[in-house]
Amino acid sequence: MLAYLLRRLAWGAVTVVGVLLFLFWLFFLYADPQDVARRALGEKAPPEAVAQWLANHGYDKPAVWNPAAPLDTRLADHLRRMLTFDFGKSDADDTPIAARLADGIGPTLSVTVPLLLLGLPLAVSLALLVAFFRETYIDRAGVVLSVLAMSVSILIYILGGQFLLGKVLRWFPISGFDPDPGVVLRFLALPVLVGLVSHLGSDVRFYRAVFLEESNRDYVRTARAKGASDARVMARHVLPNALIPVLTNVSLAIPFLFTGSLLLESFFGIPGLGSITVEAIHANDFATLRVMVYLGALLFVAAQVLTDVAYTLVDPRVRLG
């Protein structure tokens, strides 16, 4: 198992280095830092101010090769910063990126954690329910509703939720965020609700298929033959044995726990990491974008490795090697 893990980590490292080199090409060679400087300083900025800005941000250094000082290049700076997690300053407003991440992680987790904690049991329960009532109209209605729900864009859920629940029914604030304990739940309710509903269709359909496949296996028939009730069969036999696909689905969501949902955060005005990414895109803040993509890659690789390990815990038959 150790050898397998080391091999996976090595491949993960190669992936991350590949991502870093791609980011370098995209943000240092393909994109023009003059654009970033103009955006940061405004249209009226004189050429001297632009030159000073480029120098202050290290964009005036040679890109890859500097014979006078081989380590004083944009490539070397980029790799050093990313690998040491010294992310530097935002191109848009010089805020330390680490500080922005620290500010953003709380709001992001306050949306994504409830989404995961409420969404997973809800989707699994509904999937169990429709699987339990398989081939009845509840099952068929569940499938139809799931397909309908997963066919609708999340944008429609967001705008519809804001319009209906925020504007017409006035149940929740239409957008915004305030960590004040007296009001924070009001701000989280609508985005969490919209997030839950928007993911529910695909999750229920997926888990239902998994549970149905599992409930057709021999051991389930054996359990039934022994007189176990349907509810007991589903809860004690089908559910534990269907955990691997569930785990895979959850592990894919782990990176987004931290990087946040770009659309949810952006439309609901939640100042999390997703919003930071969207703003960085709008503001040509390449320094922040690089960091967000890099962290996303790191989290993805880490989630993959952890999922492999988790397989061995939920299913003793799995051996890594």
Partner 1 sequence: MKRIAAALALAFAAACGNDPYPASDAASRVLYVPYAEAPKTLDPQVAYSVYDHEVIANLYETALEYHYLKRPFELIPALVEAVPEPQPRADGRIAYRFALRRGVRFAADPCFGLGTPGATQREVVAADWAFALQRIADPKVGSPVGATFAKIVGFSAFAERLAQLREREPGFAALRIDAQYARAGPVEGIATPDPWTLEIVLGEPYPQILYWFAMPFTSPVAWEAVAAYDGEAGRPRFAERAVGTGPYRIAEYAKRRRIALERNPTWWGVEHAGAGAPAAVYPIEGEPGDAEAGLLPDGVAGGPLPFLDRIEMRYEKELIPSFTKFAQGWYDRSKIPKESFDQAARGGTLSPEMQARGMRLDRTVMPGVYYVGFNMGDPVVGHAAGERGRKLRQAMSLAIDAPEFLRVFLNGRGIPAQSPVPPGLFGYDEHYRNPYRQVDLARARRLLAEAGYADGVDPATGRALRLTFDTGDPSVQARLRYEFLVAAWRRLGIDVEVAATSYNQFQEKVRRGAYQVFFWGWIADYPDPENFHFLLWSEMSQTRSGGPNSANFSDPRFDALFLDTRARANDAARLAGIRRMRALLEEERPWIEMFHPEDYSLSHAWLRLAKPSGMTMPVHKYWTVDPAARAAARAAWNQPVRWPAYALGALVVALLVPGVVTYLRERQ
User: Given candidates 79, 154, 189, 299, which one binds partner 1 under the rule CB under 8 A?
Assistant: 189
CA atoms within 13 A on the CB side of 102: 6
Distance between CA 96 and CA 62 in Å, rounded?
Answer: 24
**What are the structure tokens assigned to 286, written together?**
């390449």
Site residues for partner 1, window 80-119 (CB under 8 A)? 92-96, 103-104, 107
Q: Is 185 in the site for partner 1 (CB under 8 A)?
A: yes
* Helix runs in 152-285, H state only: 154-161, 184-215, 218-225, 230-232, 239-241, 243-259, 262-268, 273-282
Residue choice 15, 52, 66, 249 for contact with partner 1 (CB under 8 A)? 52
Torsion angle of alpha carbons 122, 127, 130, 132, nearest 10°? -110
In Å, what is the CA distance from 204 to each residue of 59, 96, 244?
A: 49, 41, 16
CB of 52: closest distance to partner 1 in angstroms?
5
Q: Using the rule CB under 8 A, is 259 a contact of partner 1?
A: no
Chain-centroid distance of CA 38 in Å reads 31
Distance, in Å, from the CA atom of 294 to the CA atom of 169, rounded to the nearest integer, reads: 41
53 forms part of the interface with partner 1 (CB under 8 A): yes
* Contact string 54-73 vs partner 1 (x = CB under 8 A): --x-----------------
Closest CB to partner 1 among 112 and 275? Answer: 275
Q: Which tokens is 269 given?
A: 């005005």
The footprint of partner 1 on residues 12-51 (CB under 8 A) is: 32, 34-35, 38, 40-42, 44-49
* Residue 8 or 134 having the CB closest to partner 1: 134
21 is written with which tokens? 């080199």
| Shortest spacing between CB 210 and partner 1, in angstroms | 21
Candidate residues 12, 58, 166, 245; the one interacting with partner 1 per rule CB under 8 A: 166
For residues 252 and 254, give the distance between their C-alpha atoms in angstroms, rounded to a whole number: 6
Residues 281-320 that bind partner 1 (CB under 8 A): none
Provide the minimum distance between the beta carbon of 161 and partner 1 in the complex, in angstroms, as a whole number: 11
* List of residues contacting partner 1 (CB under 8 A): 32, 34-35, 38, 40-42, 44-49, 52-53, 56, 92-96, 103-104, 107, 133, 136-138, 141, 162, 166-178, 180, 182-183, 185-189, 230, 266-269, 271, 275-276, 279
